[in-house]
Amino acid sequence: MSRVLSEQSIEHVVLERGDVANTWKTERWDSLRLLTPNWLTRLPGLEYEGDEPDGFMTVPELVTFLERYADHVDAPVRTGVTVTSVSRADDEYLVETDAGTWQTPAVVLATGPFNRPHVPAVSAELPPRIDQVTPRDYKRPELLRPGRVLVVGASATGLQLADELLRSGREVTVAVGEHVRMPRTYRDRDIMWWLDQLGRHDERYDEVDDLIRARHVPSPQLVGTPDKADLDLNALTDRGAELVGRLGAVNGSTASFAGSLRNVCNLADLKLKRLLKTIDQHAGLDEGPRPEPTRVADAPRVLIDLVADGYDTVLWATGFRADYSWLDLDVLDRKGEIRHDGGVVTGAPGVYRMGLNFLRRRKSSFIHGAEDDARELAGHLTAHLALV
C-alpha cells in the first residue's frame, strides 16, 4: 500500500510496532517455509530474483525479501511504534501511539489476521499438568516436554507441526476436523500453478455465492519443502500418527472426540477429486492419477485419558483471530470481525483493511495478492481524499 500511495504522491506514514517483518521474525516456528512457490513471491515493483523459482522460502529468506522491499520502495516506516488507539476526531481519525499522535483523514489497517491464536473454550477444562502450546509459541520439538503430543487441527499448520514432531521421534495424535486436502504437485506442476491457470486466485469477492463461507475455508494441507512432497493425513499415519475426530469436550483428564472422522475425511477426499477433475478438464486431458483415499482406522478412539496415556502437551493448531482491541471505532460485528466491503470498512469513511483472507480476491491472503488489493483500495482512498 505504501508503494502505491507513493506512486500517487499521497503523503503517508507506516507505523510498525516492531521491526520490518516483525511477526515473521518473532512469531513463527524455526522450520517454517512459505506454502507458495518463489515465483509467486512478489510485490509491486519487486519479484523473486533467485535461481530456485519453484522452491519455497524459509522464514529468514522471506524476512530478507521484505526488508529489501522496504528499502526498495523507500517506505516511510516508523519502527518500534505501537498504535494504542484509532478513534474518530470530528471528520478525521486520531491515531494514538506510544511515540506520539497523528490526525489523518484516512487510515489503512494492515495488521494481518494472525494476531491472536484461537484457542477453543474447552482448553480451560484440561488438567493443569498438561502443557498447552499455540503455533505462535512453538519453535521446535525439543522445547516441548518428552511425552505424547495431541495436535488439535488438521489444516496446514497442524499437519506441518505434527509431521515435524513425528520426525523428531514423538508420539503424536491428531484431532481432525474439517480440512482441505491438496497435493503439492499434479501432472508435474505445482498445485498453485494449476490454481493460477484455473483463475481461482483472481476470483473476486463479489463473484462467489457464499462469501462468508469462502472467507473461512481452512488453509489447504500443503507444505513447502525442497522435495516438493505431499503432506496429508496418510503421510502422518505412515509415520505413526494416530487420527481421532474433532475434540469436543474434556472431563477431568479424559478428552472426548467426535465419531465422524471417516465422514470428514471422505468429504475432503471427494472435494480433492473434484478439483483434480476440474484441472483435467481445463487441460483437455484424460483423468490423471488420483491419491489414495485417506486411511481411517476401523474404530478411531473417541475417548482418551490424556494423563493415563502419557500426554504432556496439547498443541492448538486451531487458527488465529485478528486483534482489534486498539480500534476505538464502531466497525466490528458480533463475532468481533471487522465489517467491510472488499476492504472498505463499513461505517467509517476513509478507513480500509488489507491482508485478510479473500478480501477482494482469493489470493488476497497471499503475498502476491497484495498488489491488486492495494491498487483498488488506494483508488478508493484517493477518491475519498478528494472529498474531504
With H, G, I as helix, E, B as strand and everything else as coil, classify residue 96.
strand
**C-alpha cell recorded at residue 365:** 491472503
**Could you tell me the maximum CA-CA distance found in the chain, to the nearest angstrom?**
67
Pairing of strands 311-316, 148-152: parallel
Sequence ranges of the domains in the chain: 2-115+322-387, 118-316
Mean pLDDT of 260-277: 98
Closest to 18 (Cα-Cα) out of 101, 78, 74: 78
- DSSP per residue, 107-124: EEE---S-SEE---GGGG
Mean pLDDT of 109-125: 94
Mean pLDDT of 155-181: 98
CA dist., res. 225 & res. 291, Å (int) = 19
CA dist., res. 341 & res. 301, Å (int) = 44
- For cell 491457470, the residue is 197
Mean pLDDT of 115-137: 96
Report pLDDT for 146: 96
Q: Determine how many CB atoms are found less than 10 A away from the CB of residue 213.
A: 10
**C-alpha cell recorded at residue 27:** 512469531
CA dist., res. 28 & res. 65, Å (int) = 16
**C-alpha cell recorded at residue 264:** 470428514
Mean pLDDT of 302-316: 98
Looking at domain 2-115+322-387, which CATH architecture does it have?
3-Layer(bba) Sandwich (3.50)
- For cell 469436543, the residue is 248
Report pLDDT for 111: 94
193 near 200, Cβ under 8 Å? no
Contacts of 177 (CB under 8 A, 6+ apart): 153, 154, 245, 246, 264
Mean pLDDT of 72-78: 95
* Phi (first) and psi of residue 291, to 5 degrees: -65, 155
Report pLDDT for 85: 98
Mean pLDDT of 27-35: 96
Contacts of 17 (CB under 8 A, 6+ apart): 80, 81, 82, 83
* Phi (first) and psi of residue 367, to 5 degrees: -60, -45
CA dist., res. 306 & res. 252, Å (int) = 9
Contacts of 213 (CB under 8 A, 6+ apart): none
Strand partners, 305: 254
Hey, what amino acid is at 132? Answer: Q
Please say if the pLDDT value at position 336 is more than 90.
yes
Q: What predicted TM-score, i.e. pTM, was given to this entire model?
A: 0.95
In this chain, the answer to whether the domains covering 2-115+322-387 and 118-316 adopt an identical fold is yes
Mean pLDDT of 282-302: 96
* Phi (first) and psi of residue 89, to 5 degrees: -140, 90
Pairing of strands 131-133, 311-316: parallel
Report pLDDT for 350: 97
Q: Rounded mean pLDDT of the chain?
A: 96
Please say if the pLDDT value at position 388 is more than 90.
no
Closest to 49 (Cα-Cα) out of 26, 72, 31: 72
Please say if the pLDDT value at position 53 is more than 90.
yes
- For cell 507506516, the residue is 14
Between the CA of residue 123 and those of 102, 117, 335, 377, what are the distances in Å?
40, 13, 19, 39
CA dist., res. 157 & res. 353, Å (int) = 25
Tell me the CATH number for domain 118-316: 3.50.50.60
Please say if the pLDDT value at position 279 is more than 90.
yes
Pairing of strands 189-190, 185-186: antiparallel
Mean pLDDT of 314-322: 96
167 near 149, Cβ under 8 Å? no
Please say if the pLDDT value at position 210 is more than 90.
yes
Pairing of strands 83-89, 77-78: unpaired
